[in-house]
Structure 1
């Protein structure tokens, strides 16, 4: 077998790994690299021929794992894309949203160039709706823990990763020249006791592991539950200060977990009622998919549903649909919570809410997830006193806060435990991807101290397994 890491090598986004078994080529994930947001066209530069790929395995729906699939299809890939049923539906939602974002950026660039009387064309959309539909037609869905034979010599099993509804680690068992080999691709590893999602399953014993390392060297805050952390902030911002709390959240995954946590808080009467707006049409559609695949949510969410009803709906909660209604939220002057996408602030309705509230002393912006370098979210968290939003430079007077209680990534301890489920004498190698270089090094150091053989791959390097 040959392994090459074509994305998320010594960085977080753009997961893309190629496993070659003889002449058969398997691509595991095909994500968008948006750490080079100024030049998204780099995503068209594959270091292999798309038409040579035989099959794609998709671990989960997030764009940094799925967002390059339509380009792969547009440039010649014509095989199957294997994933779980929720991943197929959620990926379609996210890819369609990406098309809208590309078109908006292209139109904005075109307007700016016309204003400056420039003739050269701006960046073209990486793909269009047609390419997404061509991609979706290639999905073949496989349930968890149901071995699927890709070829006579290659078997795939998905196990729950806990990071997102439908998220999976991919376990491949291969017979090559009469020798059996096995390799696990963790995708993104979730954490235990996370709202709505099941705990990640431990990996079975394999020969090689390709592991994410997002939180290498960092542990999540201990001793405070999701509800306790949210209650503390809501009580201060919305109850005591009578202000507004804006929470940028990814429409798929983070929003559903956040809504369930708020449902538990307010239905228990632990805080006075506060109006909650979920301002993201995609979050509304994604929530309907969480209801569709309700058999895959965790036992706590299922029990809540059986006893108290829909975990994604409660009094004072409004799902905002139209753009007109979204603008009306800005005119709501009572204390409120606004949940809107996108989580890194690079597009979507969240930018409108920031535009009208970034200079509001009685507003708090609470980040609940990772923000990649170069994004507006990253700049706010860095403490920039002035930020550029919707063609204007605005001073930051709102309070900027961050909590990791709703991070859907396992921390350093979780990553270590996931690998330590493997016998160090039997595991032949660990390859770290999907993390900043410092995070990878911190994780590698601790794994090597435990006797594991660790590699931090360079992009496009080929490793013989």
Structure 2
């Protein structure tokens, strides 16, 4: 049995691992690599023949795990794609959104306006997304599924986003039982809306994410306290507007639920809230579809007060006309919009009209990669370039990691140290090299055998 690391090796994006069990080839995740100088050409040049892959297993819907599936199908993959039911629903939304982004770039458009000549051809089209979704077979959490006579699969909940799962494979390798787990992305405990990550069963080998290795989430305030503070300063004491860039799936739903609790409990006076993201609106519908997979806090709120994702002063924006009208809303308000790093999406419209507003606060609730507009604002740039204009930054820029969807160093250590001493090896993926080295060092002091693979490295199990 051979495990090859074809993605998210010493970097975060592009998750893709190939497990060869006596000639039966299983691909765990097939994500887009959008770091460094990666291009569409890089993403479609698979290091293996897609026609030779027998099965794909998807841990969760995020594009760095699912986003290259239509390319795999376009280039000849004919097998099934196994995931949990919510992951299939959310993947459909995200892949369709990716097509729209590809087409916008190809047509030389940005935010609906032509910005130059046509550029890179789309990596895939909507017809390829449809073909991809037809290959999905969904499996519930904790339901043991026989892949073939020698391989059994089980999905274990890990938080992060709705439907996210660790993959546990039990394999009869020529009469020897072996177990290998892939964490996917591990969520944090007590996260709004989602259930806590569950412990993994005893394993022989574990492939673990390491995004927050060596880093710890802040714990001096609760999320409710932080939001109360920012809303009070921006929208109650001042006639301002609070703009929150938020990823459409996961962060937006958790943020809306937390705001619902704040307003219904009277901790802050009612303030108009706009959610301006078609993808977020559709994703919220998916969250409503699976109430049994939401947190007990969320379900208790629903039993006592009704829909977690609706309240009197909340408005979901449906179209561009309504989005433009938000700019003319003169009362204090909160605007939640995507994308979280300010690279495209309707958030750029709101930013363009408010970046020079002294009464505006921009609250970042997620990570912003280097080179993005969000990163430039967070590092303190006083002037930003938008739509062929140089704009002075007069808005207040704030940040919190209380809505980060990843387990921190402590959380990752708990997941891995939940394994018995019989765990033979831990492979660290999905993290920059500094984070991986920090997590590896901590694990090794506790007697764990840890390896940080490079892209293309294989290991015989």
TM band (smaller chain): over 0.9
* Structure 2 residue corresponding to 1:226, chosen from 223, 226, 229: 223
Q: Tell whether the 8 Å contact from 1:37 to 1:374 is kept in structure 2 after alignment.
A: no
Q: For 1:65-90, what per-residue CA distance to the aligned partner results, in whole angstroms no more than 9, with x for missing partners?
A: 11111111111111100000000001
Say if 1:101 and 1:347, in contact at 8 Å, map to a contact too: no
Partner of 2:76: 76
Q: Equivalents in 1 of 2:420, 2:108: separation in Å?
A: 54
2:412 aligned with 1:455 = no
Query: Which whole-Å CA distance do the structure 1 matches of 2:301 and 2:37 have between them?
Result: 41
1:329 pairs, out of 321, 326, 329, with 326
Aligned residue number for residue 174 of structure 1: 171
Q: Which 5+ residue runs of structure 2 have no aligned equivalent?
A: none
The whole-number CA distance in structure 2 between the counterparts of 1:53 and 1:437 is 29
Deviation at 1:363, TM superposition (A): 1.3
Q: Choose which of 406, 421, 430 in structure 1 pairs with 2:426.
A: 430
Return the offset for 1:47: 1.1
Which SS does the other structure have where 1:271 is aligned? coil
The equivalent residue for 2:306 is: 309
Name which of 394, 398, 406 aligns with 1:397.
394
In structure 2, distance between residues paired with 1:390 and 1:436: 32
Establish whether residue 4 from structure 1 lines up as the match of residue 4 from structure 2: yes
- Indicate yes or no: 2:24 matched with 1:27: no
3-state SS in 1 of match to 2:73: helix
Q: Which runs of 5+ in 1 are unaligned?
A: 115-120
Structure 1 residue 112 displacement after superposition:
4.8
Flag the 1:391–1:17 CA change in 2: closer, same or farther, 3 A: farther
Aligned to 2:46: 46
SS in 1 for 2:420: coil
Query: Which secondary structure state, in structure 2, belongs to the residue aligned with residue 371 of structure 1?
Result: coil
Task: Give, in whole Å, the separation in 2 of the partners of 1:386 and 1:102.
Answer: 29
Hey, what does 2:121 align to over in structure 1?
A: 124
1:215 touches 1:439 (CA, 8 Å); kept in 2? Answer: yes
After superposition, the C-alpha distances for 1:20-40 in whole angstroms (9 at most, x for unaligned) are 111111111111112247734
Does the 8 Å contact 1:15/1:32 carry over to 2?
yes
CA distance in 1, matches of 2:56, 2:192: 30
Kindly provide the CA deviation profile for residues 257-308 of structure 1, in whole angstroms up to 9, marking residues without a partner as x.
1000000000001111111000011111111111111111111111110110
CA distance in 2, matches of 1:437, 1:386: 32
Q: Residues 356 and 60 (structure 1 numbering): CA distance in 2 closer, same or farther, change over 3 Å?
A: same
Tell me, yes or no, if the aligned pair for 2:108 and 2:119 is still in contact at 8 Å: no
* Kept in 2: contact 1:2–1:20 (CA 8 A): yes
Partner of 1:57: 57
Matched residue SS, 2:39? helix
Contact (CA 8 Å) 1:209, 1:429: kept in 2 or not? yes
Partners of 1:33 and 1:378 lie apart in 2 by 19
2:153 pairs with 1:156: yes
Q: Is the 8 A contact 1:35 1:374 kept in 2?
A: no
Verify the 8 A CA contact 1:109 1:123 in the aligned structure 2: no
Mapped partners of 1:38, 1:11: distance in 2:
12
Q: Partner of 2:97 in structure 1?
A: 97
Cα deviation, 1:434-457, whole Å, max 9, x if unaligned, reads 111111111011000010011111
Tell me how far 1:381 sits from its aligned partner: 2.1
Q: 2:244 is matched with which residue: 243, 247, 259?
A: 247
Partner in structure 1 of residue 286 of structure 2: 289
Which deviations, in whole Å up to 9, do the C-alpha atoms of 1:187-239 show, x marking residues without a partner?
A: 01011111110000011110111111111111111142221111111111111
After superposition, give the CA deviation of every residue in 1:145-192 in whole Å (9 maximum; x if it has no partner): 001111111111001011111110000111112111111100010111
Q: 1:258 to 1:440 in 2, by over 3 A?
A: same
For 1:37 and 1:352, the matched residues in 2 are separated by 27
Q: CA RMSD in A?
A: 1.5
- Counterpart Cα distance in 2 of 1:46 and 1:392: 40
- TM-score, normalised to structure 2, is 0.96
Distance (whole Å) between structure 1 residues aligned to residue 390 and residue 454 of structure 2: 38
Residue 154 of structure 2 contacts residue 169 of structure 2 at CA under 8 Å; is this kept in 1? yes
Q: Secondary structure at the match of 1:288?
A: helix
Distance in 2 separating the partners of 1:69 and 1:299: 33
CA distance in 2, matches of 1:65, 1:146: 22
The offset of 1:433, in angstroms, is 0.8
Displacement over 4 Å in runs of 4+: 109-114
Change (3 A) 1:113 1:191: closer
Whether contact under 8 Å (2:252, 2:336) holds in the other structure is yes
Superposition pairs of residues 203-282 of structure 1, within 5 angstroms? 203-282=200-279
